[in-house]
Every structure is written in C-alpha cells, then in structure tokens.
Amino acid sequence: MNDNFFVTKMKKKILILFGLICILTGIQAQRAQWMQEAKWGVMTHYLADWQARTGGFEMSISKWNEMVNGFDVEGLANQLQKAGAKYHIISIGQNSGYYLAPNPVYDQLTGISPGKCSQRDLVADLSKALHNRGIRLIVYLPSGAPAGDRAAREALEWTNGPYPNVAFQRKWEQIITWWSTRWGDAIDGWWFDGCYWPNQMYRGAEPNFESFARAARAGNPNSALAFCPGVVWRTLSVTPYEDYIAGEIDNPERISIRRVFDGLVDGSQLHFLSNLGERWGMGAPRFTSTQIIEWSKMVNSEKGAITWDAPVHINGLIPDEFMQQLTDLGNALK
C-alpha cells in the first residue's frame, strides 16, 4: 500500500469525526434553543433542611411529606405566569437526603426505610400546572450523594473529592434514569450541580459525561442539560454533552460574556444563574429591580437566558418582595 492510501484513509476519518462533532453541536443548539426566546426564568430551592432552618423546626419524614403535600403548585404557577417567566427550575433534593418525588431505586440502593423520598410526586404535579400555562420545567439535582446523610453516602459508595467514584456514578445514573423515565416530557431539562472535578470523574471511560447525559435523557431525548463546575464568572461550557451552560455566578455585576457566537458558547446555549436573596433561597432582596433588569438585558442582548433564584415559603409560594422584582423584570423584558 502506498502513502496516498493512508492519507486518504486518514482524511475520511477526519471528515467522519468532523461530521459527528457538527451533528452533536447542532443537537446541543436545538435542545436549548428555546431559551433564547424565553430570555429569563425563576429557580426555587425547596429543600428540607433549608425550610427547617428558616422555620425553626425539626425535620422528619412525616413532616417532609406534610410539607410536600401542602406545596401549592397552582399558586406558584400563577405567580410565575403573572411575572412573565417562561421556565422554572426546582430542586429535587440536595444535601439532606430528602427528595420531593418518589424513587424506589434510590430507596432500594440506600436501604433507608422508611424512605426520605416524598410520597407525592411534586415534580409531576408542578409540571402539569406549569405546562398548562406555557411554562417549561427544569429539575435541579446535585451530581454527588447527599452530604448530610451518612447512610446514603455510604450505601451509594460516595467519596467527596477528586476521585473517579465509579461505583457511585453507576448507582446515581440508575436513580436518575428512573426519574427521567417516570417523568418523560413532563420535564424539559436538568441542571446538575457540583461537577467540580470533571477531569477526574466524567472525561474517562464510562461512567462519564456521555453516560450521565444518557441517563438524564432516558425519558425525554430533548431534555436540555447543564453540568455546573461551580461559580464561574465568564462563559464556559464544560462538555459537548451539555446543551446550555450552567452559568452559576454569585456576583452578577462580574458577568463576563466571551466567545459567544449567535447565543452559543462552544456549542452550548448561553445562560447565567444567580440569586436574588442574600443567600441562595434565603434572605432579603440584595439588588434593586433596576440592577436585575440591567444584567438581564445584557445577557439577552447576546441571545442568552438568565435565571434568578428566589426564596419560597413553606407552601411553595414566592414572597411578595421578590414577586415585585420578578414582575418588574417581566414587564421590562416584554
């Protein structure tokens, strides 16, 4: 065989690889393209430990089920519609080990009984209320085990830090797959928190970003995904398997928009997420409506979307002072 044969063969491989990259990038853009028109949304953390801390009471499984059963999905959906938000992000759970939807796979893998997953499927009920009003729903979940639940951490074989965590990831993907299959197109995307060590955990052989994304899209291939590496003030996509950038930022005045082309950051939709309160999900408003509008318009001008986190009462409703800011924002962005 001559050199021309090998050159031709190599060119074909390069063209195939280039084509796959183009296809993947195109899919990324399509799954989250709706964010460009949506412009902005609202996030709420409905977490057992946070509500107990602010409310001054002890959390228990019975109390958690009582809280989830009392969550006013129609009331929250009405608030978001009034403000003009086009999508909503809600936490499934975080560090406490309490989750606001049932998951028998989680219960089985952790061996925790009675389980800390709520009896009511709040995600399904909230999705119906939101979708009836033309509002999309994205769910939030950490990429690691609940830090505050020792039994769950040990059963799921989680080690915090820059470790492969292969056994844990395989179990976590099973848990995510069950939720995704249950909800199907009732959810429009996922926002995964805590992907702090992408090189160690998600860029090698499976389980990796690809299998992680496959689990999240098991029930809806059009789900838009984001993987959060932590607070990053400038635009950054961490993997081609995400559809929009997580965009977590604590100081929105430091937003740095770079290398954005037609609303995309290296193939992923431009997006930022910050908190209106003094802390995530808590505290009094820390910005004026004028500031929030200014930062939102800046992101929108680059065809990006921005999400504002607001605290919620125990019944799931957003306090009046934050509703005023969200309504001001919605009116300004019409």
pLDDT recorded at residue 270: 98
pTM over 0.85: yes
Q: What is the CB neighbour count within 10 angstroms for residue 214? A: 18
Joined tokens for residue 236? 């950054």
Which residues touch 205 (CB under 8 Å, ≥6 apart)?
Answer: none
Q: Count up the domains in the chain and report the number.
A: 1
Please give the residue range of the domain that contains residue 265. 3-332
pLDDT recorded at residue 28: 58
**Token pair 């986190």: residue:** 309
pLDDT recorded at residue 323: 98
* Beta-bridge partners for 89: 43, 138
| pLDDT values of the chain reduced to their tens digit, one per residue, 334 residues | 454 543 344 444 433 343 344 444 456 558 999 999 999 999 999 999 999 999 999 999 999 999 999 999 999 999 999 999 999 999 999 999 999 999 999 999 999 999 999 999 999 999 999 999 999 999 999 999 999 999 999 999 999 999 999 999 999 999 999 999 999 999 999 999 999 999 999 999 999 999 999 999 999 999 999 999 999 989 999 999 999 999 999 999 999 999 999 999 999 999 999 999 999 999 999 999 999 999 999 999 999 999 999 999 999 999 999 999 999 999 999 8
**Token pair 């499984």: residue:** 61
Cα(243)–Cα(87) distance, rounded to whole angstroms?
16
Which residues touch 184 (CB under 8 Å, ≥6 apart)?
Answer: 219, 220
pLDDT recorded at residue 99: 98
CATH of the domain at 237: 3.20.20.80
pLDDT tens, residue by residue, 207-261:
999 999 999 999 999 999 999 999 998 999 999 999 999 999 999 999 999 999 9
CB 129 within 8 A of CB 77: yes
Pick from 112, 86, 116: nearest CA to 101:
116
The Cα diameter of the chain in Å comes to 78
